[in-house]
Amino acid sequence: MKNGSTNKDAASRTTRRGLFVLGGQLVVAGVLGWRMRQLQIQQSDEFLLLAEENRINIRLIPPARGLMFDRNGKPVAENKQNYRIVMIREQARDPEAILRKLANIVPLSEQRIARVLKDVSQRPGFVPVSVIDHLTWEQISQVSANAPVLPGILPEVGLSRHYPQRSDFAHVVGYVGPVSDYDLANTDDTDPLLQIPRFQIGKSGIEKQMEKDLRGSAGTSRIEINSLGRVMRELSRVDGVEGADVQLTVDMDLQNYTNRRLFGESAAVSVIDTKTGDVMALASSPSFDPNSFVLGISGSEYNQLNTNEYRPLYNKAVSGAYPPGSTFKMVVALAALEAGELDPSETFWCPGHLQLGRRRFHCWRRGGHGHVNLHDSLKFSCDVFYYETARRVGIDRITEMARKLGIGVRHDLPMPAISEGLTPTRAWKQAIHDEQWLVGDTFNSGIGQGFVLASPLQLGVMAARIASGKVIVPRLVRSIDSKPVSLAEPEDLGISQSSLNLVRQGMYAVSNERRGTANRTRIVAEGMKMAGKTGTSQVRQITAAERAAGVTRNKDLPWNRRDHALFVAFAPYDNPRYAISVVVEHGGGGSTAAAPIARDVMLQALYGGTPPLSAYPKDQHQLIEEQREAMPKPGEEMRIVTQSDRA
Amino acid sequence: MTWMSEGTRPAPTGISKILHINWSLAILLTAVACAGFLMLYSVADGNIGVWARPQMIRFGIGIVAMFIIGLIPLHFWRGVSPFAYISALLLLVAVEFVGVTGMGAQRWIDLGFMRLQPSEVMKIALVMALALYYDWLDPKKVSHPVWVAAPLILTIIPVLLVLKQPDLGTAILLGGGAAVVMFLAGVSLWYFITAGVAGVGTVAAVIYSRGTEYQLLKDYQYRRIETFLDPSIDPLGAGYHITQSKIALGSGGLNGRGYMEGTQSRLNFLPEKHTDFIFTTLAEEFGFIGSSALLVLYALIIIFCMSSMLGNRNRFGALLTGGITATFFFFFAVNMAMVMGLAPVVGVPLPLVSYGGSAMLVLLGAFGLVQSAHVHRPRSS
């Protein structure tokens, strides 16, 4: 028996404390309720938004890349359906066994199987992993037919770039390739498309320079995803904008012909419309197949291209810079005429050299040309005449004229690495070489040697400007998205007609008068006569030792030390339509290596196809026929044969 | 018990006891359990067989057990208490050796027809043992250090065993339930004040020791605490669950997104959506109206139990009811606080709603004891 009052005390204390505990519990419940109110009523909008963000993912739909056409609407870059195979691991169950089965139908190397197995093991089971790209329709149909025994294997169709003209347009159009980490690190482009793995972007040529136009903009698909990223359903879709089609000024047939005509020589050709500046053909040879870059070029194939001494990856037509040699003589002549330093009837005496102090500057013709006036100086390409003329005019006025004619200025074509060439001035030499300009430098510049450098494109522009007397600006793009690129009426060059006519007549003589340096490669068809100028530029000085050893001729030298062969021309002489420049690297003489190419390409351009034999001098008909026989057939891929291969 | 016999009338006997069952409590428990069935059906994407049906069967068994336990005289349960505690303790030790770990940290023993979690049993057994202890102890001695040490030891042994599993949530529930029983029994407030001050002091020491030579916790443990305090520090790691849980709750708004329409749970952004985080789905789909209604139901259960306790002059019955109520209270309060980002994620299910056999059966068994205390309480004349 316990003390009753103590028990009563204890009981009432328990009651008090019980009430206190209940009160405390209700207070905590109240706090929980307050928190619910805070989350669900006060902040509910914010959380609802977060829930939507969780749930909805925006997936990009890549737009179709803009196509490229030649000036007549023939395709030069198109999108081809790309059949590929993807695998979904969770459906395949045993990926390796499935891949082995698949290998019986499509070519799968051991390395590829290993790579795919690695890929699938690293990604969630529902993500499709690319197994193989660029399959044929037959292969895809076979895979589809075997679908029941290939669970988890899905054929897919996407778009991939294709260049039907292969190597012929490689340097103009360029190529696309999958966006790389390097690309992403070096661009400020924030287009989300670039984040798509293996999205194709322009890597070179117009593909690269006009990327913005060609790419288009992404469509979006709003999809509901779960916490693992699995797509549950599509909520809505906004279509993207396809890339703009680009029409080039280039004539596909002429471009094809030009490439074939170069026979894989290391050479470059530009053909420019003398009225509009349209680039009709722009060839750099040898070339490469851009499709192999799209498919992913192999290391050995790339190395072969990269180390080839003919440099097939290099766009010689716009990036190359060559001493223009005698093709620069029109610049010097025009500078002198415009400056009033040269009378057209004045004659110079050419003994085969010009003495300057202790140094002797040779004319290409050892015996000299005797009495030479302006007309003959171009026709015979007399060097002594231009040493003297250049001395009179001075380098600065020569440079001024060169730039007026398009040499030493950058022509803005949508291409990377456009060469500016080089037109030297006194200040330039002082700044770069920290040396004074010497009269000898002026002599050398007067015959397009020494410091002067020009790209084949610039030489073509020069020929076009001399032919037209207008500031012809080359252009490569005719229309974007079916909207023609506006064409301004070219301005006048600001060179007097009389000076231009004297130089044009000299060029006419080169091709059409007996003993003209390019007389052999004349065009005889009436109304198609060509006016041109040969050039042979030295890459080196023939050393005294070599001279002593009797090595004075090109053929005795290794290929890469031989002279460059050049030729510039326009035609028809009385109503010019096209200007052309040809540079054959280390080709020897301009008249023998470059001029025949220029004539053939020019005739092809003028006739818009194969010219009649009657356009050629009678005695050459058989030769031309043989040459046509020997030419690669259209569409035939040319193997790159280098000088060392031939040796 | 004789001290109470004065001025009371006899407790009901036989079949008439059924009339004295606390029916309001039974209805409230059934209502909460029904909310649970609804949610389990929803999180299983409308598949009743996954979680909802097994849960219903267990509830059926449990509620019958509750009535049977409630009709058995309280003195029987008083007599069983020491054995309940000892067997629960033995099971806790046994589970260390033969138990299976699963669903996080809790360990169970496979009995064939069900998986028994000894830690669940211990929640009730501890309360029974402490109620018995204070019923036996002379009320004058409750605050004597020696007599305070004994219940502390009874509590600390299972708490340590459970922490070792490690199951922080159950440890909190055990400690909290025990503390409330001791408080109700009349242990001097000074003990609680001292314990509180010591706790705050420890926390302060832990926080202020950071970066000093005497740093008390490892750096990663500090980072865990930081992540708990501000889950946005690590939204994809440790804070992910709590962030997603808050998003689910908040996006429910006032009216909810509709039954079976909650995107957070539908699309698997919520972890443990059928167990610890089931409340977030309810809150997402039924909004503030639904979540506060559930809270009100829980509060009513607490009020009904506590009023039964306050009217019970049987010391064992009162302390048992108070302790079980407190354990139940800690259950839902910790769970809700956890999913609402007010407490760390310690792994406590929502009582009667979350999927789980042991917890459901043990809880209903415990409410059976509350019923027994209620039915057999001494009555004033």
3-state SS, residue A15: helix
Interchain contact, A39 vs B248, CB within 8 Å: no
Flag whether pLDDT at A119 surpasses 80: no
Interchain contact, A39 vs B292, CB within 8 Å: no
Mean of pLDDT values over A69-76: 93
Q: A10 lies in a domain?
A: no
Q: A552 lies in a domain?
A: yes
Number of domains composing chain A: 2
**Tens digit of pLDDT for each residue in A480-497?**
988 888 888 899 999 999
Answer yes or no: do A516 and A393 share one domain.
Answer: yes
B328 → chain A, closest CA residue: A25
Give residue A561's pLDDT band: very low, low, confident or very high (50, 70, 90). confident
CB–CB of A140/A29 below 8 Å? no
Q: Across the interface, which of B263, B292, B302 has its CB nearest the CB of A22?
A: B302
Q: Six-digit token pair at A562?
A: 């031989």
Interchain contact, B318 vs A40, CB within 8 Å: no
Answer yes or no: do A519 and A540 share one domain.
Answer: yes
Interchain contact, B333 vs A29, CB within 8 Å: yes
Q: Six-digit token pair at B73?
A: 């005289």
3-state SS, residue A282: strand
- φ and ψ of A408, to 5 deg: 85, 10
Strand order in the sheet with A564-571: A279-285, A267-273, A578-584, A564-571, A531-537
Judged by average pLDDT, the poorest of A224-228, A237-241, A440-444, B154-158 is A224-228
| Residue B250 C-alpha, separation from nearest chain A C-alpha, in angstroms | 4
Flag whether pLDDT at B3 surpasses 70: no
Interchain contact, B310 vs A32, CB within 8 Å: no
- HSE on the CB side for B162, CA within 13 Å? 26
A15 → chain B, closest CA residue: B310
Active site residue A377: no
Q: A176 lies in a domain?
A: yes
Look at residue B112 in the predicted model and tell me its pLDDT: 64
Owning domain of residue A593: 252-646
Q: A25 lies in a domain?
A: no
Judged by average pLDDT, the poorest of A348-357, B269-278, B284-293 is B269-278
Answer yes or no: do A446 and A316 share one domain.
Answer: yes
**Cβ-Cβ contacts under 8 Å, A235 against chain B:** none
Mean of pLDDT values over B304-324: 94
CA separation for the pair B270, B209 (Å, rounded): 35
Tell me A413's DSSP state: -
Which of these is catalytic: A285, A292, A319, A326?
A326
**Tens digit of pLDDT for each residue in A303-332?**
888 888 888 999 999 999 999 999 999 999
Interface mutation vs chain B, best among A2, A5, A20, A22, most B CBs within 10 Å: A22
**Tens digit of pLDDT for each residue in B74-93?**
999 999 999 999 999 999 99
**Tens digit of pLDDT for each residue in A8-67?**
888 888 999 999 999 999 999 999 999 999 999 988 888 888 887 777 766 777 888 999
Single out the residue in A200, A231, A248 at which a domain terminates: A248
Interchain contact, A36 vs B139, CB within 8 Å: no
Q: Mark A203-237 as b/e (b = at least 16 C-beta within 10 Å).
A: bbbbbbbbbebbbbbbbbbebbbeeeebeeeeeee
Q: Across the interface, which of A18, A51, A224 has its CB nearest the CB of B309?
A: A18
Single out the residue in A248, A267, A292 at which a domain terminates: A248
Q: A44 lies in a domain?
A: no
Our separate counts of H helices and E strands in chain B read 14, 5
Q: A506 lies in a domain?
A: yes
Interchain contact, A10 vs B326, CB within 8 Å: no
Mean of pLDDT values over A376-381: 93
* Residue B180 neighbours by CB distance under 10 Å: 26
Answer yes or no: do A347 and A392 share one domain.
Answer: yes
Give residue A134's pLDDT band: very low, low, confident or very high (50, 70, 90). confident
CA separation for the pair B133, B153 (Å, rounded): 12
Give residue A647's pLDDT band: very low, low, confident or very high (50, 70, 90). very low
A58 touches chain B (CB under 8 A): no
Q: A418 lies in a domain?
A: yes
Answer yes or no: do A551 and A420 share one domain.
Answer: yes
Answer yes or no: do A80 and A134 share one domain.
Answer: yes
Residue closest to A376 by CA, chosen among A470, A471, A516, A521: A516
CATH of the domain at A546: 3.40.710.10
Q: In the predicted model, what is the mean pLDDT of chain A?
A: 87
CB contacts < 8 A (A, B): 150
Q: Across the interface, which of A2, A39, A54 has its CB nearest the CB of B249?
A: A39
**Cβ-Cβ contacts under 8 Å, B305 against chain A:** none
Interchain contact, B333 vs A32, CB within 8 Å: yes
B257 → chain A, closest CA residue: A48
Q: Across the interface, which of A13, A21, A36 has its CB nearest the CB of B288?
A: A36
**Tens digit of pLDDT for each residue in A626-646?**
999 888 887 766 666 555 555
Interchain contact, A18 vs B318, CB within 8 Å: yes
Look at residue B104 in the predicted model and tell me its pLDDT: 47
The interface predicted TM-score of the complex, written ipTM, equals 0.91
Answer yes or no: do A535 and A396 share one domain.
Answer: yes
Between residues B216 and B360, the one the model is more confident about: B360
* Residue B8 neighbours by CB distance under 10 Å: 14
Flag whether pLDDT at B265 surpasses 80: no
Look at residue B105 in the predicted model and tell me its pLDDT: 47
Answer yes or no: do A100 and A136 share one domain.
Answer: yes
Flag whether pLDDT at A3 surpasses 80: no
3-state SS, residue B133: helix
Answer yes or no: do A411 and A342 share one domain.
Answer: yes
Single out the residue in A223, A248, A273 at which a domain terminates: A248
Token pair 């089609």 in the structure block, residue = A245
CB–CB of B155/B178 below 8 Å? yes
Interchain contact, A25 vs B298, CB within 8 Å: no
CATH of the domain at A196: 3.90.1310.10
Answer yes or no: do A498 and A625 share one domain.
Answer: yes
Interface mutation vs chain B, best among A39, A47, A49, A52, most B CBs within 10 Å: A39
**Cβ-Cβ contacts under 8 Å, B267 against chain A:** 54-55, 224-227, 232
**Cβ-Cβ contacts under 8 Å, A19 against chain B:** 310
Q: A280 lies in a domain?
A: yes
A11 touches chain B (CB under 8 A): yes
